[in-house]
Amino acid sequence: MIDLLFVIGMHRSGTSAFAGSAMLLGGAAPFEMPSSSPFNPKGYFEPVHVVTGNDMCLAVQDRSWSDCRPADAMDTGTTSAWVQAFAEKLEQAFGPMPLKIVKDPRLSLTVPLWHKAALQIGHLPGYVILLREPTQSATSIMRRDGFSDEAAVALWLRYMLDAERNTRGLPRMILSTAEFSICPSAVLARVAARLDFAWPHAPETLPPDFVEPGMIHPAQPVVTDLMPLAMEAFRALLHLAQDGDDAGAMANLDAIRARFDPLTPVIHDRFLADQSPETPLQDRRAAVALLPEVTRDEDILSPKVALAAERVQRAISDRLRENAALRLNLVTEAVTYAMRHPFWPLLGYLRFYGFMGLAAAVRPVLRPLANWLQGVAGPADPDRFAKGRGELPQQRARRAKAKILRLPFSTLDEGFVPYNPPAPIDPAVKLIAFYLPQFHPFAENDAWWGKGFTEWSNVGKAVPNFDGHYQPHCPIHFGYYDLRVPSVMEEQARVAKQYGIGGFSYYFYWFGGKILMQEPLEAMLANPAVDMPFCFTWANENWTRRWDGAEDDILIAQRHSLEDSLALLRHLSRYFNDPRYIRIEGKPVFIVYRADIIPDIAETVAAWRDEAEKLGFPGIYLMAAQSFQIGDPTGMGFDAAVEFPPHGVPTTDIVAKLGNVRPDFRGHVVEYEQAADYAVSRAEVPYKLFRTAMLSWDNTARKQQGAYTFHNFSVTAFSQWLLALGHRVMTSPAHGPDEKLVFVNAWNEWAEGSHLEPDRKHGFGYLAAARAALAPFDRASLPPVPVLPARLLR
């Protein structure tokens, strides 16, 4: 059965929409994907490793993605080297994840090499070719890249002719982009049936607004002598979309190729002449950047590489002499744009037009400039700063006492951070991430929300409520996963441990003996390959349609009683006995989310302690989450409290300061940094308290117009928050050796915008920030405990 799906076709033909849809249905997303851009606001959904592999292969042939000439034939030895290199890149891009979705239009030109690479590492690949009408595709790429009519249509012919010829005799399906944009779920179902595989999620669960009918907007007139040839090819491809074995259509396409290929050298020369002086320089710089990676197999590749390098370097030297003024203007424009707009469109523009070096060069200049503009380059004025933020005097006093370790900006990247496994650490502070086991279909959700519903159904349909609002949050690495697939939890544990995470606290959903979302937890218990310490947080409130435990529109209610609480503990004893279960002084740790709603809670706690001893444990270590009105829980018999931000964090609404707020928005927007300031400056309490840091929290995916959003999240502020909490617990005499715990909300609360798991905006930046905060407490480097300065570094 097919377990790897190549998504190919011409640029601007719907390949991103199809790949994104495939990932929403459970197809594996690559570890690293480029961020979105104004031209692809939902994302490109293509593996960075595959894109660079294709660019490398084309560069060695003196080609680029925009070249309409046919690729050179490769000798056997060179082909073997590329196959090996591409096999490595597939493994780097995906690891062991099932049903990999590999999208890159350039694959149309390099399919034979990638197909052999996939077979070499044990995959059975299939192909989906997106077919968009040539005038629409040409119009789109002319708008995006400024190509001439002739160049855009020639590129369509090159990609579509090569995609069809290179996949003949292979499992494939040619799809009309227009049909896919109108009825994507039906098309996705047909793809699975034709290629003989199954989507992990039913196609009907695809969010209805993910694929936009706008992909078939009217095209502008395209005037070139190539149009009759392109339309003839389009009609032949439509025949193949209906009948994949149409020999007449394939013969017609071969004849079109024979007429087209001899024209391409002249068309390419005209294309180069039409470009600005800087455009060829960008392509050649990109080629030079790739050359060191290409030369790994020197015996086979170096003769061609040497010639290519010499040719490219000579061209660059000429261009450098001719265009110094132009490059200075580009830098100036980039800096100006960055000062006036959010960074992500700029970085997306730089990424896709080859200016990664420029971004790196500008960054050290922009940071001091940005600090100066914000008025924080010199000593801070707390009164002026507090007035600007609308803080209360007591909040200002607390913030002034905050002690947060100064992390240099150079250590953390606020942009996209790729997967780069760090050196292992063994932190004395154990960081435990709250974990939602909801990402899989189950009967109750089917009944309440519709067949196949999971939280991914909400995540994919979120849209921004104001300028600069980061939505939707789109996962990478693990993709839109299904927790019923064993390798998902195994991979989550592996990656979390790589970045120093010490454990997961799984939410447990017990309602009077009825258990929801148990299947992943049972699978985890039975699978020692999920190598991660864990404990449980009992989500003991009513489950409602509003997602907030309120008393209206209850889907399933709690039935609290002493007997029910004891039955819960007996059920959990199977988990408590697992060697991975987190214990303090031998006692299993158990967190209660809403201790305040359990009748006779002190009696229940006492009964739990007796029952734990009867079950053979030295006791039970009970924590009460400070979720609503919980303060000191010791009066109820608990050992400790655990913070649960955003609960209990005072904030100031900033909606009035935002731009382009949706007219129907009735929610709240507050500053993330205000929450961090409050949390780290919170005074010590006379009871045992475990501290919790929070990532960006935003429940737009669930509530949209009524969302509560912590805006202006930064990984640096998060890392400083976490580091301060680590310092507190390490220096606290109230916390014994087993109690050096800090919590984080959360590992995977995607519908609440709070997740350590990597996403399309920050990549692995969240995990890298957590590791940066834990590194000072690595047992290999202790003591001393880090010295703390007086305030947040901004």
What domains lie within the chain, and their CATH numbers?
Answer: 4-275 (3.40.50), 327-373 (no CATH), 409-781 (3.20.20.80)
The predicted structure's pLDDT at residue 38: 65
The predicted structure's pLDDT at residue 342: 39
Stronger pLDDT, 582 or 275, i.e. the higher one: 582
Give residue 482's pLDDT band: very low, low, confident or very high (50, 70, 90). Answer: very high
Residue among 708, 740, 714 at smallest CA distance from 725 = 740
User: What does the DSSP 8-state code read for residue 628?
Assistant: S
Q: From CA 495, how far away is CA 491, in angstroms rounded?
A: 6
User: Residue 507 forms beta bridges with which residues?
Assistant: 537
The predicted structure's pLDDT at residue 73: 64
The predicted structure's pLDDT at residue 55: 87
Residue 552: pLDDT above 90?
Answer: no
CA neighbours closer than 13 Å in the CB half-sphere of residue 230: 27
Residue 652: pLDDT above 60?
Answer: yes
What tokens were used for 468?
């600069």
pTM: 0.54
Q: From CA 526, how far away is CA 539, in angstroms rounded?
A: 22
Residue 545: pLDDT above 80?
Answer: no
Stronger pLDDT, 184 or 380, i.e. the higher one: 184
Stronger pLDDT, 413 or 620, i.e. the higher one: 620
What tokens were used for 34?
């480029």
The predicted structure's pLDDT at residue 276: 53
The predicted structure's pLDDT at residue 326: 38
The predicted structure's pLDDT at residue 97: 77
- What is the tens place of the pLDDT at every residue in 574-606? 999 999 999 999 999 999 999 999 999 999 999
Residue among 762, 742, 624, 759 at smallest CA distance from 694 = 742
Q: From CA 299, how far away is CA 597, in angstroms rounded?
A: 72
CB-CB contact of 507 with 437 (8 Å): yes
Stretch 197-218: mean pLDDT, rounded? 76
Residue among 576, 685, 699 at smallest CA distance from 640 = 685
The predicted structure's pLDDT at residue 546: 60
The predicted structure's pLDDT at residue 765: 95
Q: How far is CA 709 from the centre of its chain?
A: 19
Q: Which of 40-44, 132-136, 352-356, 719-723 shows the lowest mean pLDDT across its residues? A: 352-356
- DSSP H helical ranges for 374-437: 382-389, 393-400
Of all residues in the chain, the percent with pLDDT exceeding 90 is 55
Evaluate the omega torsion of the peptide bond into residue 424 and state whether it is cis, within 30 degrees of 0: no
Can you tell me whether residue 591 is helix, strand or coil?
Answer: strand
φ/ψ (deg, to 5) at 713? -60, 145
Angle (CA) 321-56-145 rounded to 5° is 65
Label residue 280 exposed, middle or buried (CB < 10 Å: 0-12, 13-18, 19+).
middle
Buried b (16+ CB within 10 A) or exposed e, 615-646: eebebbbbbbbbbeebeebeebbbbbbbbbbb
- What is the tens place of the pLDDT at every residue in 616-641? 999 999 999 998 778 899 999 999 99
DSSP string, 326-355: HHHHHHHHHHHHHHHS-HHHHHHHHHHTT-
Residue 613: pLDDT above 90?
Answer: yes
Counting DSSP H helices and E strands in the chain, the numbers are: 28, 19
Q: From CA 701, how far away is CA 534, in angstroms rounded?
A: 27
Give residue 127's pLDDT band: very low, low, confident or very high (50, 70, 90). Answer: very high
Q: Classify residue 12 as left (phi > 0), alpha (psi -120 to 50) or beta.
A: left
Q: From CA 44, how far away is CA 11, in angstroms rounded?
A: 11
Q: From CA 548, how far away is CA 534, in angstroms rounded?
A: 25
φ/ψ (deg, to 5) at 73? -70, 140
What tokens were used for 458?
């909400």
The predicted structure's pLDDT at residue 179: 83
Stronger pLDDT, 484 or 397, i.e. the higher one: 484
What tokens were used for 588?
């299993």
Residue 159: pLDDT above 80?
Answer: yes
Stretch 349-369: mean pLDDT, rounded? 38
Residue 216: pLDDT above 50?
Answer: no
- What is the tens place of the pLDDT at every residue in 429-469? 999 999 999 999 999 988 988 898 999 999 989 999 999 99
Stretch 409-416: mean pLDDT, rounded? 67
Q: Which of 248-252, 410-414, 777-781 shows the lowest mean pLDDT across its residues? A: 410-414
Give residue 126's pLDDT band: very low, low, confident or very high (50, 70, 90). Answer: very high
φ/ψ (deg, to 5) at 763? 60, -130
User: Beta-carbon neighbour count of residue 427 at 10 Å?
Assistant: 25
CB-CB contact of 454 with 748 (8 Å): no
Task: Identify the H or E element spanning 714.
Answer: none
What tokens were used for 733?
């005499």
Instruction: Using DSSP bridges, classify how beta strands 583-584 and 587-592 pair: parallel, antiparallel or unpaired.
Output: antiparallel
The predicted structure's pLDDT at residue 180: 87
Q: From CA 249, how far away is CA 44, in angstroms rounded?
A: 31
Give residue 375's pLDDT band: very low, low, confident or very high (50, 70, 90). Answer: very low
Residue 665: pLDDT above 70?
Answer: yes
Residue among 343, 423, 323 at smallest CA distance from 37 = 343
- What is the tens place of the pLDDT at every residue in 741-761? 999 999 999 999 999 999 999
- What is the tens place of the pLDDT at every residue in 76-110? 567 888 899 899 889 888 877 789 999 999 999 99
Of all residues in the chain, the percent with pLDDT exceeding 70 is 77
Give residue 527's pLDDT band: very low, low, confident or very high (50, 70, 90). Answer: very high
For CA atoms 244, 247, 252, 258, give the dihedral sign. positive
